[in-house]
Amino acid sequence: MKVVRIKLDRIVLFFIASLFALIFLLPMVYTFVSSLKSIEEIFTIPIKWIPDKIHIENFILPFTKKNFGIYFINSTIVAIAVTINQLFFSSLGGYSLAKFNYRGKDFLFITVLLTMMVPVEVTLVPLAIIVRNLGWMNTYWGLIIPVMITPFGIFWMRQFIITIPNDYAESGRVEGVGEFKIFLKIILPMCQPAIGALAIFTFMGNWNQLLWPLIVASKDRFRTIPVGLVAFEGEFFTPFNELFAMSITAVLPTLIIFLILKGRLIKGMAMVGIKG
């Protein structure tokens, strides 16, 4: 009787999980199907899930007749640059907060935690004023530097590095290795799970970022993909079939990154505790 009840519970949980998965996947399926339709078929009622003719040109025209290729390159440059800087500097900050004792360390850590609680919208206006005064509006500097280090990244790496035994660093010091080389050669390789997870968070967050690029990049040649998708909406006509096609194209890089690093994401989230 107990075995039957366990099996019944699993069936119910499987059914509920499948239902939620269907609810989340249905909009993506509709977007993909609509990206292959003509503009007329998109507004057909009832919905046609299989188009009469596949319109591959929906994926080509935005690159040839519009500047989506530039948006794609801009997003790639910004996401990769921010991710690399985030991983390096957050690891340095996390290493400092986890393994060194100095005056003001606890205050710095509390400041990092408090900064994480401040809504991003609160800092947008003063940050935009600083960027404008520095002359970084409509530049890659303005798109990258203000967002390349986050309190979450420092906190994430600190929580992982604090679990690494001090013996590894001490053995390096005994051998006469400098602190920076200990960080690069000993500590950083041991942080691969946390780095992989943080890389996914950072890349996806900056690839999909809309608000900050919308403020900084008013010129078309510095727009990123999310801003470019907003620009697809015309005053009198919006090519929804091309918009859907570019939405699918925009999702592919983050999906590929996730599939490649999902193992490290799961391992990193499992190993990053709340110690200390």
pLDDT in tens, the chain (276 residues): 555 566 777 787 888 888 888 888 888 888 888 888 887 777 777 777 787 788 888 888 888 888 888 999 999 999 999 999 999 999 998 888 888 888 888 888 888 888 888 888 888 888 899 999 998 999 999 999 998 888 999 999 888 888 888 887 888 788 777 888 888 888 888 888 888 888 888 998 899 888 899 889 888 888 898 888 887 766 556 777 888 888 888 888 888 877 777 666 666 555 554 444
Contact 139, 222 (CB under 8 A): yes
Whether the full predicted model's pTM is greater than 0.75, yes or no, is yes
pLDDT of residue 242: 83
In the chain, where the domains are located: 56-271
pLDDT of residue 78: 93
Contact 110, 155 (CB under 8 A): no
Q: Tell me, which fold does domain 56-271 have in CATH?
A: MetI-like fold (1.10.3720)
Give residue 42's identity as a one-letter amino acid code.
I
Residue with tokens 């990049």: 217
pLDDT of residue 246: 86
Residues near 81 by Cβ (< 8 Å), separated by ≥ 6?
A: 140, 144, 148
Contact 64, 192 (CB under 8 A): no
Local structure of residue 137 (DSSP, 8 states): T
pLDDT of residue 100: 85
In the numeric block, which tokens belong to residue 109? 């850590």
Q: How far is CA 259 from the centre of its chain?
A: 14
Contact 155, 112 (CB under 8 A): yes
pLDDT of residue 264: 63
